[in-house]
Amino acid sequence: MKITLVKKIKADGSPCQKCQDISDRLEASDQMKLIDQIIIADESDPASEGMLLASELSVDRAPFFVVEHDDGQKEVFTVYFKFVKQVLNQITSEEEELAEIMNDNPDLDYI
């Protein structure tokens, strides 16, 4: 299994706050060592490795994780807590999971 983390740099060159938050969380939980590679999706450069990967996998948000299984199947995770729960077997709280869903999906405001 190979795990790739794709982090975003915004079109104005500034870093994505959530990408940094997730990096900090992975470091704090000593799980960064389980990430095999980190690549950058630079919004100002559609040819950047992360932007190309996002396009190839039809991902429209960042950060995201790509888990490549031994049989070659690729699985994409755009929800951090879903990733750490399912792939890293971390126990997560429902509060954290719900907060992430709410933050990442503003379209749910009108449900």
Partner 1 sequence: MSITENDINQLATDYKDKSPQDILTLALETVDNIAISFSGAEDIVLVDMASKIKKDFQVFTLDTGRLHPETYRFMDQVREKYGIQIEAMCPNADQIEKFIKEKGYFSFYQDDHKECCSVRKIGPLRRKLETLDGWITGQRRDQSPGTRTNVPVVQVDAAFAGPNGQLTKFNPLANWSSEQVWAYIRANDVPFNSLHEQGFISIGCEPCTRPVLPNQHEREGRWWWEEATAKECGLHAETNKS
Interface ranges with partner 1 (CB under 8 A): 8, 11, 16-18, 41, 43-46, 51, 54, 58-62, 78-79, 94-95, 98-99, 101-111
Our CA dihedral for 26, 29, 33, 39, rounded to 10 degrees, sits at 0
Of the pair 28, 111, the CB lying nearest partner 1 is at 111
Provide, rounded to whole angstroms, the least separation between the CB of residue 14 and partner 1: 11
Q: How far is the CB of 33 from partner 1 (least distance, A)?
A: 25
Tokens at 58, concatenated: 């039809």
Alpha-carbon distance values, 62 to 9, 16, 111 (Å): 9, 8, 23
Sign of the CA dihedral 105, 22, 63, 36?
negative
41 vs 84 by CB, closer to partner 1: 41
Query: Is the CB of 30 or the CB of 60 nearer to partner 1?
Result: 60
